C-alpha cells in the first residue's frame, strides 16, 4: 500500500510539470496539533506566488476527489527555500560543489553540525570540505543535510 505522500506526489507531478516546474518534495506533518500536507515545487530561478497558486488551484479539487487523508488538514504549495533539505541521491548530485550544513545524530569530534562544500555523495555517505580538509560522514551518522547560503 502506498503512503499518502507517494499518492499525492503521483497526483502532483503531472500538474507541476505542466507548469514548467519540478516536484521537489511532498510531506505530511503534524505541527501544534494540526496536520499539514505540503507540496514543494522548484525550478531554476525563483518560484512565484502565482506558481504556487496555480498548482494549488489545480490540485485542490483532485485531492478532494482522491481523499488521501481522512482527518482534516491544511494544504500548502510552496518553494523548498534557498536552504532546502537534501534527501534523495539526485538532490545531492545536483548540489555537488555547493555549501551544505550537515547535522549529526551524535557528536563527532565535539560537534553535531558541520558546514562546508559538498564534495561527494555515495549511497548515503557524503564528504564535505571543512576549513580546507575533507570530512567523511557515514549514512547512519547524518540526521539532516541542508543547503547553506554563505554570505
Is 8 found in the same domain as 71?
yes
Say what the pLDDT of residue 6 is.
93
Confidence of residue 1 (pLDDT cuts 50, 70, 90): low
Is 127 found in the same domain as 103?
yes
Exposed, middle or buried by CB within 10 Å (0-12, 13-18, 19+), for 105?
exposed
**Distance of alpha carbon 75 from alpha carbon 60, whole angstroms:** 8
The answer to whether 120 and 96 have CB atoms below 8 angstroms apart is: yes
Report which DSSP code applies to 12: H
In this structure, is residue 84 part of a structural domain? no
Whether residue 68 has pLDDT greater than 70: yes
Is 28 found in the same domain as 73?
yes
Say what the pLDDT of residue 149 is.
87
Whether residue 151 has pLDDT greater than 70: no
Whether residue 150 has pLDDT greater than 80: no
Is 56 found in the same domain as 105?
no
**Distance of alpha carbon 26 from alpha carbon 6, whole angstroms:** 8
Q: Kindly report, residue by residue over 79-109, the tens digit of the pLDDT.
A: 999 899 999 999 999 999 999 999 999 999 9
Give the CATH number of the domain where residue 32 resides. 3.30.300.70
- Domain of 116, in residue numbers: 89-147
Q: Kindly report, residue by residue over 40-64, the tens digit of the pLDDT.
A: 999 988 899 999 999 999 999 999 9
Confidence of residue 66 (pLDDT cuts 50, 70, 90): confident
Is 49 found in the same domain as 16?
yes
Amino acid at each position: 500500500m502506498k503512503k499518502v505522500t507517494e499518492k499525492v506526489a503521483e497526483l502532483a507531478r503531472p500538474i507541476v510539470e505542466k507548469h514548467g516546474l519540478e516536484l521537489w518534495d511532498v510531506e505530511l506533518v503534524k505541527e501544534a496539533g494540526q496536520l499539514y500536507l505540503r507540496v514543494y515545487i522548484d525550478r531554476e530561478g525563483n518560484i512565484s506566488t502565482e506558481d504556487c497558486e496555480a498548482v494549488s488551484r489545480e490540485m485542490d479539487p483532485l485531492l478532494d476527489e482522491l481523499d488521501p487523508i481522512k482527518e482534516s488538514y491544511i494544504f500548502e504549495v510552496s518553494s523548498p527555500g534557498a536552504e532546502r533539505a537534501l534527501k534523495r541521491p539526485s538532490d545531492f548530485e545536483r548540489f555537488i560543489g555547493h555549501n551544505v550544513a550537515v547535522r549529526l545524530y551524535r557528536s563527532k569530534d565535539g560537534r553535531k553540525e558541520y558546514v562546508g562544500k559538498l564534495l561527494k555523495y555515495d549511497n548515503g555517505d557524503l564528504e564535505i570540505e571543512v576549513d580546507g580538509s575533507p570530512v567523511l560522514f557515514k549514512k547512519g551518522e547524518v540526521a539532516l543535510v541542508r543547503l547553506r547560503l554563505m554570505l
